Structure formats: structure tokens, C-alpha cells
Amino acid sequence: MRKHLFLGVFLVLLIINPLTEGIYGRNAVLYMASHYALFALGMWMGLSEASRRFWIGRLIAGTGVALLAHVPLIFDVSAYNEVVRVILELGLFCGGFLVGSSFQAGGNVTSYILLGGWMTGDTALSVAFLLGDSAYSFPLSPYPVWQIKDAGIFMFLFMNVVAFFIIMKIFIGFLEKGELKGEGEGI
């Protein structure tokens, strides 16, 4: 746990620092990449603290933070204001931690529902970005429309690559279980 904590703190500081914060205010793709990285890092750290206690509440709170972070007004204010951005980024990390800490308690069905929910929400946001939704672009946010569209492309590609590997891992697991059952049956 101590090794994970040190690595986690190091990675959070690598993502959230004055240099990167200045870049996030000017680059929508890197800002969205930091969202993925912080939430995933929080999930990874939360997995080591998995508990069945209050897991549904932690799961709802963690996903709620991720949804709230991408409401147009909050997203736009965080893009302009560095203090709000850091608070939002720390919130995404904590939200990931809450989801990660409740992940194993829910079992496979909960995991599949979370995967589907993430893909649905991420697809909706990436489509809004790809269409250049005015709520996410200049003048309400510092990002020009082309950057928001680039962020939408990045999100769509990233989500599909990650989802592909997750789905393949699940599929291979099902195949391996089937092979083990079929070994002695002459199939």
C-alpha cells in the first residue's frame, strides 16, 4: 500500500502542478486527458482500499463527481479559473478513488453497468464536442471550437480503445471458462 501511495501522489503531482495547469487552460485535449488520468489513477488507488461497506453510496458519489465535472458551466469555469480547475481535478481523483473502492463489492454485473454507463456518457460528451457544442467553446470557455472538436475525437478514440481491451479481456475470460468446462467432454 505504501508503494502505491507514493506512486499515486507522485503521479497526481505530475498531472496537477503550475506548469501543467497553465497548459490545460489553453489545450482542451490535454485537459480532457488529465480528467481520464486522474479518474483512472483514483480508481487504481481505490482498488487497494476495496470494501463492501457503503459501496453503493461511494459508487454513486464517485460517478456523480465525474458527471458534475463535465456540466458545461462547471467545465467552462474550470477551464478559465486555475483554482477551480485544481479543485475539480482533485475531485475527479477522489471520485475515481470512490468508484475504485466500491468496484469489487458490486461484482461483475456492476462492473458491466459501469462500463456501459461510462461508454454512454463519454459518447454523449464526445459527440457534443465533435459537433462543436457552443456551451463548451469560446466565448463561454477559453477553447476555440476546433480544440473542442479535437478533444471530442481524442475522447472517442481513447474510450473505444480502452473499451475494446476491457471487452476483449471479458470475452477471453468467458472463453477460458468454457474451455475448462469442455476439456473432459471430448469437444
84-105 tens-digit pLDDT: 999 999 999 999 999 988 887 7
CB 148, CB 137: distance < 8 Å: yes
Nearest to 143 by CA among 124, 125, 129, 161: 129
User: What integer best gives the mean pLDDT of the chain?
Assistant: 87
Cell of 20: 501543467
First to last CA, the chain: 44
Mean pLDDT score, 108-137: 89
Q: Residue 34 — pLDDT band, cuts 50, 70, 90? A: very high
Which segment, 43-47, 104-108, 177-181, is predicted with the most confidence on average? 43-47
Q: What percent of the chain has pLDDT over 70?
A: 94
Enter the pTM of the model: 0.86
Instruction: Number of helices (H) and strands (E) in the chain: give both, helices first.
Output: 7, 0
Which residues lie closer than 8 Å to 14 by C-beta, 6 or more apart?
20
Q: What are the residue ranges of helices labelled H in 81-144?
A: 82-130
Those residues with Cβ within 8 angstroms of residue 72's Cβ, 6 or more apart along the chain or in another chain: 133, 135, 136, 140
